[in-house]
Amino acid sequence: GAHRPVLHVLLREGARIRDSREVDAEVEMLLARSETWRLVSFYTLNQEVADPPALARALEASWAPLGILGRTYVAKEGVNAQLAVPELVVPLLRAQVAHMDALKGARVNVDSHPVPRVHGMEEGQEDEGQPFKSLHVRTRDQVVADGGLEG
């Protein structure tokens, strides 16, 4: 399921994991140790996404536990993602993208300039440097506005 690509990366990195609770604990540790955000983008076009709402739900369910923020649009033609990813979680995101049939061929672009990440904020406080405030994965008629009219 959703843990398989994450588990593969964690095991490759030397984690000793026996069950899904330990996967969650490893992810929590990576989130706590990530001092910076990495801005990540990718898109796929002409993928023929069979069920955009289902893919949007799957992406949100996979990414929210990884502390990923940003905006992603899903349409029948493909996916367009602009994300802020805790630095130590980037390999997990790459593994998830590579594992999902609907995202085949997506080239994951990671900005070379990290953005500082603030830990231990009080509820209601905002990190002014945080690139996004939340994760939004939404369906759209098109993922890229090309100015063309269908009809």
Please report the pLDDT score of residue 151 as a whole number.
Answer: 41
Q: What is the spatial distance between Cα 85 and Cα 93, in angstroms, rounded to a whole number?
A: 8
Q: What is the mean pLDDT of each run of 10 residues along the chain (151 residues)?
A: 58 58 80 92 85 93 91 93 94 88 88 83 56 91 66 41
Q: Are strands 69-75 and 135-139 parallel, antiparallel or unpaired?
A: parallel
Please report the pLDDT score of residue 149 as a whole number.
Answer: 47
Please report the pLDDT score of residue 10 as a whole number.
Answer: 61
The secondary element (H helix, E strand) that includes residue 80 is: strand 78-86
Please report the pLDDT score of residue 120 as a whole number.
Answer: 57
Could you tell me the pTM of the whole model? 0.81
Please report the pLDDT score of residue 140 as a whole number.
Answer: 92
143 contacts: CB under 8 Å, gap ≥ 6: 43, 45, 73, 74, 75, 77, 78, 79, 80
Q: What is the spatial distance between Cα 73 and Cα 106, in angstroms, rounded to a whole number?
A: 14
89 contacts: CB under 8 Å, gap ≥ 6: 27, 30, 31, 34, 66, 67, 68
